[in-house]
Structure 1
Amino acid sequence: MYVLGIETSCDETGVAIYHSKQGLLSHFLYSQVAMHNDYGGVVPELASRDHVQKLIPLVKQALTEAHTPSATINGIAYTAGPGLMGALLVGATVARSLAWAWQIPAVAVHHMEGHLLATMLETPAPQLPFVALLISGGHTLLIRVDAIGAYQILGESLDDAAGEAFDKTAKLLGIGYPGGAKLAQLARQGQPVYKFPRPMTDRPGLDFSFSGLKTYALNTWQQSAQSEQDKANIALAFEQAIAETLTIKCKRALQQTGLKRLVVAGGVSANLTIRSALTKLTEAQNAEIFFPRLEFCTDNGAMIAYAGCQRLLANQQQDLAIVTKPRWPLTELAPLSLLP
Structure 2
Amino acid sequence: EGWDAHFETSSYPRIRIQAVHILPGKDNVVTVKFRAKPPKDAEAGDYTFTLEAATADGALKKTIPLVVTYRPKEKPSTEEKKEILELMVDYPSLENPAGKDFEFEIQIKNNSDKDQIVELAAQVPPGWRVYFTPRWKSEQHISSIKVGSHSSEWIRFVVTPPYGTPKKEFPLKFIARAGGEEKTLDLKAVVTGTYELHLGSEAEVLGKGDTWNIKATAGQERHFTLYLWNQGSAPITGITFYASKPKDWEVKFNPEKLESLPPLAETMKPEKVDVVVKPKERAIPGDYEIRITAAGKEDRATSTIRVTVGASMSWGWVGVAVIVVVIAGLTGIFVRLGRR
Decide: shared fold, TM above 0.5. Answer: no
Radius of gyration: which is bigger? 2
Considering fraction of residues, name the structure with more strand.
2
After TM superposition, the score normalised by the length of structure 2 is 0.18
After TM superposition, the score normalised by the length of structure 1 is 0.18
Considering fraction of residues, name the structure with more helix.
1
Of the two structures, which has the highest relative contact order with CA contacts closer than 8 Å and spacing of 6 or more? 1
